Structure 1
């Protein structure tokens, strides 16, 4: 092997020694306990039929350019108007995915002299955006409102004059726990701060009509929410829902927006149809919540604290043991994946079990029955 590749091979070997090496595994094998397709929307007959018709009618596969250079299509404009009306914001700016939306926001809006106080468990996309920002950043203890407030007070006492930004998720992707939406909104109002909430795992499921946990406050001048389309909505993309001024500012100053080819018009059409289905079929989220309630009881019987949401972590701790249990579950027909550092903190390797409408109560019961002895053996 050439010297050029040696250092990369050494890094990969290091991951293997620590049971952290990742490989791609094809989807579609086993019962779905790992995807984010919470409402099974990606296979909804109405959605598939609408996309088929749209293709036949000539809706574009490729945008052919950035939104500012011939890549702005009717489907994008219709979708953004519809999304703003659905979520209750003044405007909604559509991006190709949630990572890009978060990255674009945090590289564009917080400025030199500003302070971003973020929950220690926010998504990697927020971290990467903050790294590329000129703002100062401080981590707050997970879901600890008092620690957020202490850091605001400390910053002001030390003479920080810029804008304070608070960055949280409404439902955390690896723990499944919820943030206190009302308390964080009150905190932002108290200190004249901007609150940025990633609603990725709440969109379509939680809040009135699946509008997210911040739905009650959408439209506030100091609130920005990110709603992704690749989870409960069954498509791809993400919205930054914000005041019109923020929309206009990002169109003019956000480099990831300006210099990226626009999302496919066909995908924008797909997301718009998904939002329509969400509005007309509230039973989708209601059925999922019934599954969550059922599963929560089974997990509690095992001594596993229920998250109360569609994301249920089962903490094993050791990375190698976690992956071994995941393989055993997969071999038995349950597609459950292990999650290891650096995605989660050291010593907290876990099974990340998600509940979707792709499974039934019986499937959940069978899965928990198989998990029980594996879980108990891992804690002997």
Structure 2
């Protein structure tokens, strides 16, 4: 039976397609991975898979699922002990597990800044942070990306206009679309100067920075000066779930006010054990970060030599972005790479601003130098307008 609204939905999709923005689900392929967030290769690690399997086989938890929210029937000793472990790992007082990084950001940003507060956000924060900010009743202002002068100007204005409200500043430590890093030390200093609280999304830094992958905040020794950090486990750690870490009062506050925590079924034991095992695996495999840095350095040397007249974002992280203005052009270059077995994806506007369309290339610990050579050769040939022979 055709629903009367179906025609309206079809028309909206048609417009989306005409604008070149229609998305499709595609099966995972066997191409060389230069697009996933599996920076350390943990998602494909047989050793981590075995560790999780063994932990689950030894687990006494009788239920397949959590059976309810943590506040209803889903609280377990495993969840409690894991949060205590995560707090120690991330060098803070408490951790609260969320089902995903999206849920964590949405819940945190929606409930922490209240009516009468001010929320200042970098213009390039994650969509999940933006959506959380939209659900908040706080006054929100965006500042120019990594622009400390703009941050300070807005902090001054917010502090002068507020009588009792709190000011919050929300950033990513490593930005997902540019791969560059927030000036965390300067942001912490400014927040303390103006009595603001800093919130840091560590999604693309978790596992990659710090002695054991604790993130950029810990790597810079700022963990006691940042109110809240969001650590996502579905990227470098190769599994799923997330946690908000910070002072004990923050955990208690989120348990009472974060709707994405209160009103969702908790993660099952298998997911909790996977989180536990992934952190153990990271601590005992520091060599993967060394290997990743080696491959990243090699990639940057190759593009500097072979692609000197191209434009790249200012990134020292595994996220390397080649600017290719225009959706059609970016899509065309990505297609050429895919035709020869390289999984390269174009990021199009409006996901990024018009004129900033790009290839978002992710370098991994498991990428070989031969694969990197092939990628650079294909980009060089395609940008020169040469015909590429398929493998």
Corresponding residue number in structure 1 for 2:224: 219
Count of paired positions? 377
Instruction: Show CA shifts across 1:276-318 (max 9, x none).
Output: 1111111111110111111111222313436211001111111
2:212 counterpart SS class:
helix
Corresponding residue number in structure 1 for 2:146: 143
1:317 counterpart SS class:
coil
Moved more, 81-90 or 294-303: 294-303
2 CA distance for matches of 1:234 and 1:315? 28
Contact 2:334 2:359 in 1 (8 A): yes
Higher relative contact order (CA 8 A, sep 6+): 1
- Indicate whether 1:183 and 2:191 are aligned: no
Corresponding residue number in structure 2 for 1:285: 289
- Indicate whether 1:270 and 2:274 are aligned: yes
Pair 1:316–1:239, CA change in 2 (3 A): same
Corresponding residue number in structure 1 for 2:364: 356
Moved more, 354-363 or 228-237: 354-363
Corresponding residue number in structure 2 for 1:374: 382
Pair 1:152–1:293, CA change in 2 (3 A): same
Corresponding residue number in structure 2 for 1:29: 30
Moved more, 59-68 or 266-275: 59-68
* Aligned with 2:262 (options 258, 262, 265): 258
- Indicate whether 1:82 and 2:85 are aligned: yes
1:117 counterpart SS class:
strand
Q: How does 1:339-354 map to 2 (within 5 A)?
A: 339-354=347-362
2 CA distance for matches of 1:286 and 1:28? 27
Corresponding residue number in structure 1 for 2:241: 237
1 CA distance for matches of 2:113 and 2:257? 12
2:81 counterpart SS class:
helix
Corresponding residue number in structure 2 for 1:42: 43
1:64 counterpart SS class:
coil
1 CA distance for matches of 2:135 and 2:238? 30
Contact 1:336 1:353 in 2 (8 A): yes
2 CA distance for matches of 1:146 and 1:202? 25
1 CA distance for matches of 2:117 and 2:224? 23
Pair 1:159–1:101, CA change in 2 (3 A): closer
Instruction: Show CA shifts across 1:165-196 (max 9, x none).
Output: 00000010010001111111111111111100
2 CA distance for matches of 1:159 and 1:56? 55
1:79 counterpart SS class:
helix
Q: How does 1:62-141 map to 2 (within 5 A)?
A: 62-141=65-144
State the 1:56 CA deviation.
2.8
Pair 1:272–1:159, CA change in 2 (3 A): closer
Contact 1:31 1:335 in 2 (8 A): yes
Contact 1:200 1:227 in 2 (8 A): yes
State the 1:2 CA deviation.
5.7
State the 1:376 CA deviation.
4.1
2 CA distance for matches of 1:159 and 1:125? 26
Q: For structure 1, which runs of at least 5 residues remain unmatched after alignment?
A: none
Q: For structure 2, which runs of at least 5 residues remain unmatched after alignment?
A: 387-391
State the 1:356 CA deviation.
1.2
Relative to the length of structure 2, the TM-score reads: 0.92
- Indicate whether 1:163 and 2:166 are aligned: yes
2 CA distance for matches of 1:3 and 1:346? 35
Moved more, 187-196 or 44-53: 44-53
Corresponding residue number in structure 1 for 2:389: none
- C-alpha RMSD of the superposition: 1.7
2 CA distance for matches of 1:212 and 1:23? 33
1:196 counterpart SS class:
strand
